Every structure is written in C-alpha cells, then in structure tokens.
Amino acid sequence: MRNLFTRTELSRHISHLTVFIQVMGGVLLIGCTIENAPMTLDLNDARQLRPLDAYQKAINCKVSIGSVRDDRLRKDDLGMVYIRPIYAPNIMSWLQQSLASLQASPRLEMEQGKVAVPQKTILLNASIKKLYVHPLPSSISANIVMSMIYVLNEQKDIARVYRGNSTGVSWTNSPESINEFINEALNVAMKDIADDLIKLCDGQLTSSVQGG
C-alpha cells in the first residue's frame, strides 16, 4: 500500500502545523494580556451625570459645599470586572462636580431692588466610604456609600449616610459602559441627598442617621 505522505511532505506538513500553533499561541497570549490589562476610567466626564434641576428648584435655602474627602484606603481602586482591575484617578473632581449641582440656584440670589430675606444656610461636608464595581453571574454592579454632615446655620450638625447602586448587563465591558454604571450609582445617592436637603430646608429633618 502506497504511503499517504512522503517523508518530505510529512516534514513540510509538520512545519506548517508548528507555525500555526505558534501563531495561535501568540494570538491567545495577546488576548489574555488585553483581558488582564487594567481599565482606567475618566469619571470627570460629566455628560453622563443627569441634571438635578427639579431637585435644585425645590431646595429653598442656601446650600454650599464644604469639605469633600475620600476615606477609602485605596483611593484610585474601584475593584475588578472579571479579571480586569478598574482604576479612576479623578474621583474627587468627579464627586465635587456632582455635589456642586446641589448648591443654591440663581433664583435664590437676591434680586435687585428687593429686600434681602434671611435664609437658612446649610454647609455640606461629604466623604466617600465605599466606591467599587464587581461582577455578578450575568451582570455588573456599581456601588457607592457616602457620608454627609450638614451644618445648619453654622450651629447644628446632622449626619446622614447614603447608598447608591446600579446593576445591569454590560455587553462590551468597556470603560464607557462601566462609567455609566458608576455614574448611575452616584445619581441614586445624589437624589436621596437632594431629598434630605429639601427636608432640612423645610425643617422636617432634625436628627442624624449613622451607618456603615
């Protein structure tokens, strides 16, 4: 029976197979390297932060932002999405930019020719306790925990804790999609903060609530 391959042909096929294996190994190695590469987010992109105009108009006292701190041990670390570490170097400016939207709106400023009416003042001191992203079996979850201390009329301090969560499916796991989850988690917390500011201005919130 005639051999299917001559020795020369067999050597050539083995050589081609070796090259193919090397090429595929390189492709897989590059793919693994990309999958393991850290992901850096630009949280300073405020275009994804929904405006809080409706809340701002309902806040009828003067709100100003005091200190803004990050109390987490690892400041830039936002956890992992599967095997990719997530980092964001501009968390503080992102939070300060969002909190600034809660300050007194132009309608509260004294109009020319009108007598100034004394307003209740609220100084807001904020700190981040937790901010992280983590994968679930079929989705991704972003979470934030913030502590607020409201100083009323430079006298009384009221402390509150706020939590925000956003969970959904990310088909691409891109920085843009992760950014959306984190911004939405902040929005959830911001709306609760705005609700409490409205109550503080109206005298309906008078006690602290502590939590981890």
Per residue in 1-23, pLDDT tens? 455 556 665 566 556 555 455 54
C-alpha 192: how far from its chain's center? 16
Number of domains the chain contains = 2
Give the residue numbers spanning the domain of 25.
1-37
Determine the 3-state secondary structure of 70 from DSSP. Answer: strand
**pTM attached to this predicted model:** 0.74
Q: What is the pLDDT of residue 71?
A: 94
* Position 83 in a domain: yes
Q: How many CA atoms lie within 13 A of 184 on its CB side?
A: 14
SS (H, E, C) 95-148: HHHHHHHHCCCHHHCCCCCCCCCCCCEEEEEEEEEEEEEEECCCCEEEEEEEEE
Is residue 209 domain-resident? no
Together in a domain, 78 and 132: yes
* Judgement on whether residues 19 and 101 belong to the same structural domain of the protein: no
> Would the pLDDT of 34 be above 80?
no
Residue 84 and residue 173: Cα distance in Å, rounded? 10
